[in-house]
Amino acid sequence: MNEQNENDEISLKELIEKAQEWFSYLVSQWKIIVLAGIIGAAIGLTYSFIKKPVYTATLSFALEDEKGGGGLGGALGLASSFGLDLGGGGGSIFTGSNLTELFKSRSMVEQTLLTAVTYEGKNISLAEMYIQNNGWRDSWENKPNFKNIKFLPNADRKNYSRAQDSILGVMYADLSTNGLSVGQKDKKIAIISIDVNSTNELFAKYFTEALVNEVSDFYIETKSKKSRENMDILERQTDSIRRALNGAITGVAVANDNTFNLNPALNVRRAPSARRQVDVQANTAILTELVKQSELAKVTLRKETPLIQVIDSPILPLHKERFGKAKGILLGGILAGFLTLLVLIMRRVLKQLV
């Protein structure tokens, strides 16, 4: 037992001696460590000058709540009694988290990049603006596959080449990973915020506004698609019945003219007029119901649009985050000093092993 305690004391003593030995070694290398720290601080300061500031464009919006049917519920019920589905509330395809994911989807981001904007007196797409901001044109001078590629505003995305698809894919990956953030800042508040980060202030603003417009148009079109189709069908049926009714009314008048001053005993000659009169009454009843349903369809469609209400839009100047000089000096010095310590320790360990 005493021998075990003595061994423990020896081990502890050796450990302290080792620590003192390492400390003395590192202190003896203070010139190298300080020099590395100064170099690192200089590099950090240089980086703070080179690093472009990052601008953040923020837009907030509220989604119209369609849970309550209100007085329209009775009207929709009346329409359904005639066997017609007017679309109701449009479903919940893009609500909540689905809507936020829609903003970050590749199709919406890429379509937004093809939106036309005015930049430096020229009408270009946001994709071209992104390319200019990142200096990609200069690096493409010696690449024939990319040198002559252009992204015209409002171009048909389906006609793009493989190289264009690849470039748009890189843009999407960068924006979705580093530049675009969508979500609720507070779960208790049903207001969604969009943040877009870019080293180009105008690009951040233009892209944010264009993305919201693109998603809003797609969202409205998708959510009201069923109601719009039903309304179009009703309008075509209404026009068709109205033409038939006008023809029946004309037919009654013609038949009456043919039987003017006819012998009352010849009833068979009055049959065409009677049949036309039945057509007029039937088409009048059908037209009345179709007009009712058509108006209900229009009310339903108006109820479902607009679906996105913008609350706050990005206003220049945008919030700017710059890599500060003090931060660069501090981080550069600490990182360089730490790496130097690791190198010195590894070098001494390797010498001892040899």
pLDDT digits (tens, 9 = 90+) for 129-145: 999 888 888 888 887 77
Using the CB atoms, write b or e for 201-218: b if 16+ within 10 Å: bbbbbbbbbbbbebbbeb
At 126 the pLDDT is: 92
**Confidence band, pLDDT 50/70/90 cuts, at residue 205:** very high
Instruction: Taking residues 12-33, report their average pLDDT.
Output: 78
Strand partners, 195: 58, 181
Dist CA 347 CA 341 (whole Å): 10
Instruction: Taking residues 112-141, report their average pLDDT.
Output: 88
Place of tokens 């049903």: 190
Q: Are 75 and 299 in contact (CB under 8 A)?
A: yes
Higher pLDDT, 176 or 50: 176
pLDDT digits (tens, 9 = 90+) for 157-200: 788 888 888 889 999 998 888 888 888 776 777 788 889 998 88
**Confidence band, pLDDT 50/70/90 cuts, at residue 207:** very high
pLDDT of 351 over the 50 cut: yes
At 269 the pLDDT is: 55
pLDDT of 70 over the 60 cut: no
At 339 the pLDDT is: 87
HEC readout, the chain: CHHHHHHHHHHHHHHHHHHHHHHHHHHHCHHHHHHHHHHHHHHHHHHHHHCCCEEEEEEEEEECCCCCCCCHHHHHHHHHHCCCCCCCCCCCCCCCHHHHHHHCCHHHHHHHHCCEEEECCEEEEHHHHHHHHHCHHHHCCCCHHHHCCCCCCCCCHHHCCHHHHHHHHHHHHHHHHHHEEEEECCCCCCEEEEEEEECCHHHHHHHHHHHHHHHHHHHHHHHCHHHHHHHHHHHHHHHHHHHHHHHHHHHHHHHHHHCCCCCCCCHHHHHHHHHHHHHHHHHHHHHHHHHHHHHHHHHHHHHCCCCEEEEECCCCCCEEECCCHHHHHHHHHHHHHHHHHHHHHHHHHHHHHC
Strand partners, 321: 54
pLDDT of 7 over the 60 cut: no
At 209 the pLDDT is: 92
Dist CA 257 CA 250 (whole Å): 11
**Confidence band, pLDDT 50/70/90 cuts, at residue 73:** very low
Q: 153-162 long-range CB contacts below 8 Å, 24 or more apart? A: 153/114, 153/115, 153/116, 153/117, 153/123, 153/124, 153/125, 154/114, 154/115, 154/116, 154/125, 155/114, 155/125, 157/110, 157/111, 157/114
Residue type, 252: V
At 349 the pLDDT is: 80
At 140 the pLDDT is: 85
pLDDT of 206 over the 90 cut: yes
pLDDT digits (tens, 9 = 90+) for 32-48: 878 888 888 888 777 77
Instruction: Taking residues 50-58, report their average pLDDT.
Output: 84
Higher pLDDT, 149 or 302: 149
pLDDT digits (tens, 9 = 90+) for 286-302: 878 878 887 787 777 77
pLDDT digits (tens, 9 = 90+) for 305-346: 656 778 888 888 888 887 667 777 788 788 888 888 888 888
0.85 surpassed by pTM: no
Place of tokens 């000093």: 337
pLDDT digits (tens, 9 = 90+) for 77-102: 444 444 444 444 444 555 556 777 88
Rg (CA), the chain: 38
pLDDT digits (tens, 9 = 90+) for 246-304: 777 777 676 666 655 555 555 555 566 667 677 777 778 887 887 888 778 777 777 76
Place of tokens 């040198």: 147
pLDDT of 224 over the 80 cut: no
